Structure 1
Amino acid sequence: MTSARTAIRRLATAQALTSAGDGAVLAVSAVHFTIRVGLPAGIVALGLSLGAATSLTTTVPFGTLLDRIGARRALAAATAAAVAGLLLFAVAHTVPLYIAACALFACGQSALAAGRQAVVATVVAPEGRVRARALLHTAVNIGIGAGSGIGALVLAAGTNAVTVFLVDAGLFVFATALYLHAGPDAPAERQTGWPALRDRRYVTLTVLAAVTQLTMPILSVTLPLWIVTRSSAPQWTSAVVLLANTVLVVLLQLPISRQVRDARTARRSLAIAGIFLIAACSVFGSLGASAHPVVLALVGALLLTLAETTASAGAWHLAFSLAPEGHQGQYQALFATSTALARITGPIVLVPLVLTFGFLGWTLAGLGMLAAAAALAAMAVPRRKPQRKADCPVIA
């Protein structure tokens, strides 16, 4: 039988490879579809938004499927959806094809995120799940960072982006082989209905986790706009901040996650995250009045990264511990929607808030995320659960 360590290493390898491809796709797709294909920029952005919205409606049903047919086969099906999306990207020259590609790719990616987390819950003992999840998150950041650099080289060389789409599809096909050997499937569950959606506590966890994950749209959208419109920092500052965040997550996520072993340590991690969140927002809000905005932006990046890593570790513990063992697929799928929720709602809420109210807007955003982290910390209480089988090892 595949050991837990081997299963997680295979998942991490697949995650790093496909994330590298995704990083390259993200780097080249906007330029490809607006300049080479000739789609309006608004349509390109709309396609991405519709894809993310579509994934919200399909992720939980995928989790139910995962509980019924097992994680390995479900992951293979999700990979097939992502590959189909990438192949459509390669031939998309019309708006309908482009939007269909965005929907397939986003649904496949969201399902894969849920499936990987369900595999962690299936093969790893409770006390090792947060660290295993952190390993996968680190693999994502390594892959995205490397892929973004490759994408930049592709653009600089003038290479056709279709090559990037096809290579990424090939990486996903290779990843399927790793997923099919990523450890034992969970026993099929013939449950009916949507227990995760009826679990008010878990739904609350998902929404609060989405609020703490607003760090993502802060770095990718809100802060870049703030820098170019409200500060004297060079335009490249936001790119440096994003690079610093990626490197720091790779360095810090695993060490921080090792400290989260139970409800008490998860509560502490989330409480610390709240402090870092309000501190980071205060620093970013001060950029316009600073004589050294680049330095201040990097300080804010450090604080925001510490918030991201500590909040993630605590939220992962809750996501695993509050899900019943027989329904990890559906519950982890529901939790996975927190990322899409943050990415969809973040720019809509944060950009007008900070650009309209300035430092006050940043403070309000920080207080909102602080309140969410505090509410999550309050949910981290010991809960009596049935013991898992003794043959599920801990990822050391």
Structure 2
Amino acid sequence: MFKGWISSNIPAEGAGRRLAAGSLVNNFGNGAQLAAFPLFLVSVADFSAAQVGLALMIAGIVGIASSPAAGWLSDRMTPSRLLVLGGFAQGAVAILLFFVNTVLALCVLAGVARVLSQIVRVARLSIVAQVPDATRNVLRAQMNVYSNVGVAMGTAVSAAVIAVGSKDAYLAGFVLDSVTFVASALVQQGLPSQERSPRDKHAQPTASPWRTALKDRRYAAVTVLNGFLFFHQSVLFLGIPLWIASTNEIPKVLATVIFLMNMAITILLQVKFSEGMENLRTAAVAWRRSALAISLACVLVYVAARAHGDAVQILAVLSAALLFTFGELWHSSTEMEVSTRLVPEEQHGLYQGIFALGRDAAQTAGPFLAALFCVSLNPDGWLILTALYALFAVAAPYALNRMHEGPVANQPTAAESAL
């Protein structure tokens, strides 16, 4: 069984293996800085918590706004070349962040780091989007597995850096992050990607990525719907831990158990759930299953909030976390499919950048909304979430099926022709 899991999680082609390896190395560095970076800014660089929060919020907004432009740039250049250049630039910025000593410098460098992160992510997804239908979704799932493994390994390093707490230890974390960015770029250097035709190379650049998004209403709708479904991540990883912390009846360690359980299951089953994802119809089925699982999970947390007795509450919360995890697996299996089926030819980068807006908006608004529904409006907030995801389970798959039956946007791609 273990050998079968190993073989199913190793990409068949050399290019796919290099993408997976790049994801592993890149996310190892990201994981190493995930918790250490904000603590470094407060405890070593002597910024206040408010200054750090403001700088990171500004950087996040800049990153979101740059996503379509990053995709447009990926279309103007080859995605593989942009992926490598972005990785080298990330390595340089990672080191510079260690030396920031003013709020302005922190805002600028953190903003540049987020823009580069968007560029690398969109370029990588643009390459995956050009993979043939039969292997594209599985490859994305395999990359997600390696990303999760990388983050888990990096988090362990981050814990060690924080435990030591010295300036030299934090510097080692910054150097490690920089090295992993460069190593990831080197591993992925020379990856095959679609070349622009001579006619397209001399075409005038798109006037506004935002205008393109607004013109393609079907793709904008898919982006918004996917972003809403992605919000369940904030509920699981922030809403439930905050709710646990707000009650005195459930052990606080349960939040850690939920995190570890989610990571283990997603690593084991991510590829399995991606198999059979062939078109928008199969994506619609997965969307419905995901939303129903999340809706039922919210009901279970509501039951836990109303119940008395540790055993009942713990069982209900763990069951809810399991359903959230299956909802995540069904959802993540669809993202590559719904983000590529409606894309005009030779505009994969721009459209991947637009698609990322939904996820990024959910990540940005997620903490506030999760705290609102899961804590401030507790327990009724869980019923509101139940109703919202139940409505999604009915309406969103119907919308996807209509898009499957309708005409493709602009020019057909090879993937769309397979419909």
Q: TM-score, normalised by structure 1?
A: 0.91
CA separation in 2, counterparts of 1:116 and 1:387?
19
Aligned pairs (5 A) from 1:246-261? 246-261=263-278
Q: Does 1:312 align with 2:339?
A: no
Partner residue of 1:176?
Answer: 185
Structure having the higher Rg: 2
Partner residue of 1:369?
Answer: 389
Name structure 2 gaps, 5 residues minimum: 1-10
| AA matched with 1:388 | A
| AA matched with 2:112 | L
Given the superposition, is the C-alpha separation of residues 45 and 369 from structure 1 closer, same or farther in structure 2, using an over 3 Å criterion? farther
- State which of 100, 114, 123 in structure 1 corresponds to 2:122: 114
Name structure 1 gaps, 5 residues minimum: 390-396
| AA matched with 1:220 | F
Cα deviation, 1:275-305, whole Å, max 9, x if unaligned, reads 1010112222333335233443322221101
Query: Is this contact kept in 1: 2:279–2:341, CA < 8 A?
Result: no
CA separation in 1, counterparts of 2:399 and 2:289?
15
CA separation in 2, counterparts of 1:356 and 1:158?
34
| AA matched with 2:111 | A
Q: Does 1:131 align with 2:128?
A: no
Aligned pairs (5 A) from 1:169-208? 169-187=178-196, 189=200, 190=203, 191-193=205-207, 194=209, 195-208=212-225
Query: Is this contact kept in 2: 1:82–1:107, CA < 8 A?
Result: no
Cα deviation, 1:346-368, whole Å, max 9, x if unaligned, reads 12222122323212201212332
Q: Does 1:388 align with 2:414?
A: yes
CA separation in 1, counterparts of 2:268 and 2:347?
33
Counterpart of 1:326 in 2: which secondary structure?
coil
Counterpart of 1:216 in 2: which secondary structure?
helix
> Which moved further from structure 2: 17-26 or 44-53?
44-53
Q: Does 1:166 align with 2:183?
A: no
Shift of 1:104: 1.8
Shift of 1:92: 1.7
Given the superposition, is the C-alpha separation of residues 141 and 358 from structure 1 closer, same or farther in structure 2, using an over 3 Å criterion? same
Query: Is this contact kept in 2: 1:72–1:185, CA < 8 A?
Result: no
Q: Does 1:345 align with 2:352?
A: no
Given the superposition, is the C-alpha separation of residues 42 and 370 from structure 1 closer, same or farther in structure 2, using an over 3 Å criterion? farther
CA separation in 1, counterparts of 2:19 and 2:224?
26
CA separation in 2, counterparts of 1:374 and 1:178?
43
Partner residue of 1:79?
Answer: 87
| AA matched with 2:186 | A
Q: Does 1:88 align with 2:96?
A: yes
CA separation in 1, counterparts of 2:390 and 2:59?
29
Partner residue of 2:8?
Answer: none
> Which moved further from structure 2: 92-101 or 162-171?
92-101
- State which of 265, 288, 292 in structure 1 corresponds to 2:282: 265
Query: Is this contact kept in 2: 1:113–1:336, CA < 8 A?
Result: no
Query: Is this contact kept in 1: 2:74–2:122, CA < 8 A?
Result: no
Given the superposition, is the C-alpha separation of residues 17 and 368 from structure 1 closer, same or farther in structure 2, using an over 3 Å criterion? same
Give the alignment's Cα RMSD to 1 decimal: 2.2
Given the superposition, is the C-alpha separation of residues 258 and 105 from structure 1 closer, same or farther in structure 2, using an over 3 Å criterion? same
Aligned pairs (5 A) from 1:140-151? 140-151=147-158
Query: Is this contact kept in 1: 2:345–2:413, CA < 8 A?
Result: no
> Which moved further from structure 2: 240-249 or 280-289?
280-289
CA separation in 2, counterparts of 1:186 and 1:233?
56
In the alignment of these two chains, the number of paired residues is 386
Partner residue of 1:242?
Answer: 259
CA separation in 2, counterparts of 1:373 and 1:333?
26
CA separation in 1, counterparts of 2:296 and 2:271?
23
Shift of 1:262: 2.2
- State which of 62, 65, 89 in structure 1 corresponds to 2:73: 65
> Which moved further from structure 2: 104-113 or 22-31?
104-113
Q: Does 1:7 align with 2:15?
A: yes
Partner residue of 2:62?
Answer: 54
